[in-house]
Amino acid sequence: MPVYSLKELKAEYVTPKHSTAFGPLITGEQIELGVLSYKAGEGATTHAHPQEQIILVLKGRARFILDGVEHEIGPGMAVHVPPGVPHSVRMIEDTELVSAKGVVAGVGHRI
**Looking at residue 66, what is its pLDDT?**
96
Cβ neighbours of residue 51 closer than 8 Å, sequence gap 6 or more: 83, 101, 102, 103, 104, 107, 108, 111
Query: Does 1 have pLDDT greater than 70?
Result: no
Residue 96 in domain: yes
Domain range for 60: 33-111
Q: CATH number for the domain including 91?
A: 2.60.120.10
Residue 37 in domain: yes
Give the single-character DSSP code of 105: T
Residue, of 15 and 28, whose pLDDT is higher: 28
Residue 13 in domain: no
Residue 15 in domain: no
DSSP 3-state of 80:
strand
Look at the alpha carbons of 31, 32, 35, 38 in this order and tell me if their dihedral is positive or negative.
Answer: negative
Q: How many domains does the chain have?
A: 1
Residue 87 in domain: yes
pLDDT in tens, 24-74: 999 898 999 999 999 999 999 999 999 999 999 999 999 999 999 999 999
Give the single-character DSSP code of 21: -
